[in-house]
Amino acid sequence: MHKPSKIKINHTLHKLHAFTCNQIMVIRCKAAVAWEPNKPLVIEEIEVAPPQSNEVRIKIVTTALCRTDLYFLSESTTKYTFPMVLGHEAAGIVESVGPGVTEFKPGDKVIPVFLPQCRECRFCKSPKTNLPLAHVDGMPEPVSRLTCRGKKLLQFANTSTFSEYTVVNQIAVAKIDPEAPLDKVCLIGCGVCSGYGAALNNARVEPGSSCAVFGLGAVGLAAVMGCKAAGAKTIIAVDTNPDKFHKARVLGATDFVNPNDHDKPISQVLSDMTNGGVDYSIECVGNVEVMRSALESCVKGWGVSVIVGYTDMHDFAARPIQLLSGRTWKVTWISKDGVPEMVKAYMAKKLNLEEFITHKMTLNQVNDAIELMEQGIGIRTVLSVSPQQ
């Protein structure tokens, strides 16, 4: 449905800087629009404006459905306004760039990142965090370049990848290996990067240690994979759906626990299994009760629990003694700089992405993908959005 520009884009860097936004045309293309909460997405023709200063317009080739998309589609949870275009776990190709963009050129393979990295604020400059200043108090609504039927469409999480084209600030785009298969590495844009990084970079799992991963969606399975890569001896996979245990075993889990099979708290079950608690626990559900259970499952003295699952619906709580006894509670985020490194790891066959992809569909089938996720079927559905060429 893309209607090509009347201006032929020259892909050389010399010509690129002379190519003004006024010469780049509005693109009309297909997108899945959320007009209101808790309703099916609607495939619409939308208009995607030219990139402005420091912005990149991206042709989205593939995008995956993440549970966070469903979270913000829910009327009871969303802080975003409708209508909007969801999607944030994707990969594509740069179509055009706005003034001031020097890091990217048309034709580059990229992954949009929902957490920008400006490299200039206090937080970006600190080695203690990768959370930039703009996101310290939550996820602000970005300026949107998307419209439909005369209405502005909110660009969800700075990205809006359920669209054939989107416009993203260059600080929220990561350039990747030009040989990388976009239908695989799109998963690195959120789920796999979050879980894997939680194990290696935040928990800092050590060889020979014991770990428990709560929740075996894509994020949790990636955490399992990260624990194995770090050399953990015991990796306990915790989920109420035993159908997910096989995937967890393939990716490195050694033990499996279904909380529904026990009549005592899961923290006590894990404590009994590990002589007092695991060295590391990683919560990948986004449920405050599970967050507390994960913390309490850690051993006293040095246990570390990392929260990966997202929620902003409820306060979480724990008795002070849980921390006073030596446990540590942490969180994790992905970074723009970390994305290319993860792609390199995949290209070097150090990262298994194929096991996460259980369904392949087109953007037109996005509501079918949502139904599968709501029913707990599969791990990740990858949606084909635009042809790569």
**DSSP collapsed to 3 states, 64-98:** ECCHHHHHHHCCCCCCCCCCEECCCEEEEEEEEEC
Q: Which residues of 76-108 are buried (b: 16+ CB within 10 A; e: fewer)?
A: ebbebebbbbbbbbbbbbbbbbbeebeebbbeb
166/48 Cα distance (integer angstroms): 7
Do 48 and 183 lie in one domain? The reply is yes
- Domain membership of residue 1 (yes or no) is no
Q: Is residue 146 domain-shared with residue 284, that is, in the same domain? A: no
**Listed range (73-77, 226-230, 257-261, 359-363) with the worst mean pLDDT:** 73-77
Q: Is residue 176 part of a domain?
A: yes
Whether omega before 83 lies within 30 degrees of 0, making that bond cis, reads: yes
Residue 211 belongs to a domain with what CATH number? 3.40.50.720
Identify the residue whose tokens are 């580059």: 108
302, containing H or E segment: none
Joined together, the tokens standing for residue 166 give 């989107």
* 144 plus 37 within the same structural domain: yes
Q: How many residues does this entry show for the chain?
A: 389
Please state whether 212 falls in left (phi above 0), alpha (psi between -120 and 50) or beta. beta
Q: Do 367 and 293 belong together in one domain? A: no
Is 96 found in the same domain as 129?
yes
State the Cα–Cα distance between residues 206 and 202, nearest whole angstrom: 11
Average of per-residue pLDDT across 380-389: 90
Number of structural domains (the chain) is 2
Lowest mean pLDDT among 6-10, 74-78, 185-189, 265-269: 6-10
Mean pLDDT of 115-119: 77
Structural domain includes residue 2: no
pLDDT band at 169 (very low <50, low <70, confident <90, very high): very high
Residue 4 lies in a domain: no
- pLDDT digit string (tens) for 134-156? 444 444 445 799 999 999 999 99
Integer-rounded Cα radius of gyration of the chain: 21
Domain co-membership, 324 together with 288: yes
105 and 254 together in one domain: no
Our CA angle for 69, 53, 166, nearest 5°, is 30
Same domain, 198 and 296: yes
Is the residue at 185 inside a domain? yes
At position 128, the amino acid (one-letter code) is K
* Co-location of 37 and 186 in the same domain: yes
Domain hosting 343: range is: 12-190+336-384
**β-pairing verdict for 109-112 and 89-97:** antiparallel
Per-residue burial over 251-260, b = 16 or more CB atoms within 10 Å of its CB, e = otherwise: bbbbbbbbee
Looking at the structure, do residues 45 and 173 belong to the same domain, yes or no? Answer: yes
Predicted model pTM:
0.87
Domain assignment of residue 79, yes or no: yes
Q: Say if residues 116 and 172 touch (Cβ distance below 8 Å).
A: yes
Q: Is the pLDDT of residue 162 over 60?
A: yes
Please report, for the domain that includes residue 97, its CATH number: 3.90.180.10
Answer yes or no: is pLDDT of 21 > 80: no
Is there a domain that residue 249 lies in? yes
Average pLDDT over the chain, rounded to an integer:
88
- Residues 96 and 225 both lie in one domain: no
Q: Are residues 35 and 159 part of one domain?
A: yes
Residue 80, domain member (yes or no): yes
Lowest mean pLDDT among 4-8, 74-78, 180-184, 217-221: 4-8
